[in-house]
Structure 1
Amino acid sequence: MQDITVISMIFTTILALACLFLILSPLFKWDTYIQVSSKGKDINATKEALLTTLNEIEFEFKMDKISHADYKHLKKQYETEVASIMKEEEELMITNIDRELKDEVEKEIEAQMKTYKNKKGEGK
Structure 2
Amino acid sequence: MQDISIISMVFTAAMALTCLFLILSPLFKWDTYLNANVNTQDLASTKEALLTTLNEIEFEYKMDKISHADYKVLKKQYETEVASIMKEEEQMIDKNIDEDLMAEVEKEIEAQMQSYKNKKGEGK
TM-score, length-scaled by structure 2? 0.70
Matched, 1:41 2:25: no
Matched, 1:59 2:33: no
Which position in structure 2 is the counterpart of 1:120?
120
* Aligned equivalents of 1:35, 1:67: Cα separation in 2: 41
* Aligned equivalents of 2:109, 2:74: Cα separation in 1: 52
- Give the CA deviation at 1:66: 0.9
- 1:75-116, Cα deviation, whole Å (9 max, x unpaired): 000000001011111111111111111110001000111111
Give the direction of change, closer, same or farther, for the CA distance of 1:43–1:77 in structure 2 (3 Å limit).
Answer: same
- Consecutive unaligned residues in structure 2, runs of 5 or more: 8-32
Give the direction of change, closer, same or farther, for the CA distance of 1:108–1:34 in structure 2 (3 Å limit).
Answer: closer
* Aligned equivalents of 1:34, 1:108: Cα separation in 2: 32
Preserved CA contact (<8 Å) 1:61 1:68: yes
RMSD: 2.2
* Aligned equivalents of 1:84, 1:123: Cα separation in 2: 58
Q: Equivalent residue of 1:45, what SS?
A: helix
Number of residue equivalences: 96
Which position in structure 2 is the counterpart of 1:111?
111
Q: Equivalent residue of 1:87, what SS?
A: helix
TM-score, length-scaled by structure 1? 0.70
- Give the CA deviation at 1:122: 1.2
Preserved CA contact (<8 Å) 1:60 1:66: yes
Matched letter for residue 113 of structure 1: M
